[in-house]
Structure 1
Amino acid sequence: MIAAETKLKGCFIIEPRVFQDDRGYFFESFNQQTFNKLIGRSINFVQDNESFSSRGVIRGLHFQEGEFAQAKLVRVIKGAVLDVAVDIRKESPTFGQYVAIELTEENKKQLFVPRGFAHGFSVLSKTAIFSYKCDNYYNKESEAGIIYNDTTLNIDWKIARDEAQLSDKDIILPTLEAYFK
């Protein structure tokens, strides 16, 4: 397994070693000891989540606030998504910047999104199964978000506007500027 820190401090792309032959493939998707060594700190994941979505679905940009903030390790089991992490740490020199990476069942890449980031993804394939580990439990009262099409972020979700499918709650999220006023 190898890790490469993105332009956003603490946010890493993780690539497993995949062993493949005519029977199929095998890889270690997570090893606590190796993971902590790669990112240079100890993370204790306490919850695993999985979602199934169709092409054009955009989920995000979500985060939890305060003591319920979450770090996430995300990957695609089936299909392809554009995964996005936005730095919302006010004191960070990269506040308001984002990284976007295509995660697919073929490339098996993962993205580690630390606390202090908003996270979202768009489904690029016909369907996708998306999996993520969280280092804190979900708390409904602490959930928050930034609107996916915030013009200051200017994220290209690789989905045509008329093809985008969003939840009712994601359509009414504030802009980054409005959230931090």
Structure 2
Amino acid sequence: MTGRLGRARVTAGITSAAVALVPQDSKGRRWLAYNGSAAAVGHGALWLATGNPMGAEPLMAAVVHSVPNCTAFVVTCAVAYGGWRAGGLLRGLPGLLGIAARPAAAIGAATWGQGTAPLIEDALAATEPWSSMLLPLIAAGMLAGICWWALDSRSATWRPPVRWAARIPLATLALGVGLYAPGAAL
């Protein structure tokens, strides 16, 4: 006997400790313990990394201030794709016009899309009380979707400790949004 524990015994020990701590018949408390502990660990790590006890607040502010530029990027990509597809309708033109139709339409549309950031900023300013309250929630919703897609949806077959560690970013984001997103609007 070398004194080492195998992965199966460690996983079984962690699972039995969690079940003993939170009984099996209380699914709500179990869910809260699972997600709450992941959120607490993530929030604590943010507190240590930023030196701010509010953790995610400065990060949320940076995300909200970058929304017009990020939205302009998404608009640029979407209209460039739309220009490429629309340019495909002109493929039947003779010679070089037919060959250059798709790239020219895509470049022209992307050029227009790059200039939409000021329009988006004006739209946000025109809807001021609502954009101040909803913009952090929309930005956090998109980030939560990315966290879920990249980690949570793929972690269903992973071992319980690794699955819990994969839940930390999403739980931390949900805690930060719940505590600090609306900010001064409340």
Fold conserved between structures, TM > 0.5: no
- Structure number with the higher helix fraction is 2
Taking structure 2 as the reference length, the TM-score comes to 0.21
Taking structure 1 as the reference length, the TM-score comes to 0.21
The structure with the largest alpha-carbon Rg is: 2
